[in-house]
Structure 1
Amino acid sequence: MAEDLVVSDRLVIPAGELTERFSRSSGPGGQGVNTADSRVELSFNLAESASIPADLRERMMQRLRPRVVAGVITITASEHRAQLANRRAARERLAQALREAAAPPPPRRRPTKPTRGSKERRITAKKRRGETKRGRGRVAE
């Protein structure tokens, strides 16, 4: 299953840049859980990848900072009983993480001022609330 990882229509990670490790998974599987290496660790060296442009790499490294260790992002999948299903799940999760990290930054917010009407409504509501509280004065004895 050595196929390229398609992140987006413009970004494809060659299969040679991905590293898979398999180990025994915990969870369902009965007696087979002790023999089948169904857990998958998918690693991708983001810092040294030739398939990602330098400017995009910087943005991705910044956004994925908590998940990247020594320039390598590692995704683990062990929720399925079958190794093939876990491989698919890990590849999809890695593609999703890279897709989100590669997204362009949101447009800058243009600061706005409150309208005169919204200021008046706010002040009116504050005065009304103050009147309500003032009406709760102490009981005369």
Structure 2
Amino acid sequence: MLRIDDTISLEDWEITEQFVRASGPGGQNVNKVATAVELRFEAARSPSLPGPVKARLKRLAGRRWTKEGAIVIQCDETRSQSRNRDIARERLAELVRKATVVPKRRIKTKPTYGSQQRRLKAKKERGEVKSLRGRVRGDE
């Protein structure tokens, strides 16, 4: 079981881990040992997550969200299988934690009268400067 916070914890059946061969450092050992982990979390079918959290999680996961509604996290940072597994689980937990935060609603505001006047004054001054850049007419 993976504990996210006081209210959310993910059951073991929701998470599957597959170990594959990793690229990178490790010499000949890299060809023999499957140290990289591919963690798969069935987010869409998860009873642990409420609907709004799932929607935010889908948006946060981006490319890691599959058509079946699963999140796939890959980790091959270290040569240790158990360390990669811990890193992948921590990444999943962090992603779910971010999804639990409800974003603040934006309150529309109007620009103040003074700021509107300052903006218009600056525009007028800028226009006058630009108008002076025109071709100089000689006495004809």
Normalising by structure 1, we get a TM-score of: 0.84
- In structure 2, the CA distance between the partners of 1:78 and 1:65, relative to structure 1 (3 Å rule), is closer
Distance 2:77 2:3 in 1: 22
Please list the CA deviations of residues 21-80 of structure 1 after superposition, one character each: whole Å capped at 9, or x if unmatched. Answer: 001111110111011110101111112223223554455346546432202111110111
Distance 1:5 1:64 in 2: 18
Amino acid across the alignment from 2:4: V
Paired residue for 2:26?
A: 29
- In structure 2, the CA distance between the partners of 1:49 and 1:122, relative to structure 1 (3 Å rule), is same
Aligned residues: 137
Matched, 1:43 2:43: no
State the shift of 1:128 in Å: 0.9
Q: Could you say what the CA RMSD is over the residues aligned between the two structures, in angstroms?
A: 2.0
Paired residue for 1:87?
A: 85
Q: Percent identity?
A: 46
The runs of 5 or more residues in structure 2 that have no matched partner are: none
Paired residue for 2:113?
A: 116
State the shift of 1:112 in Å: 1.6
Paired residue for 2:64?
A: 67
Amino acid across the alignment from 1:81: R
Normalising by structure 2, we get a TM-score of: 0.85
Distance 1:115 1:54 in 2: 39
Amino acid across the alignment from 2:113: R
Matched, 1:140 2:137: yes
SS in 2 for 1:43: strand
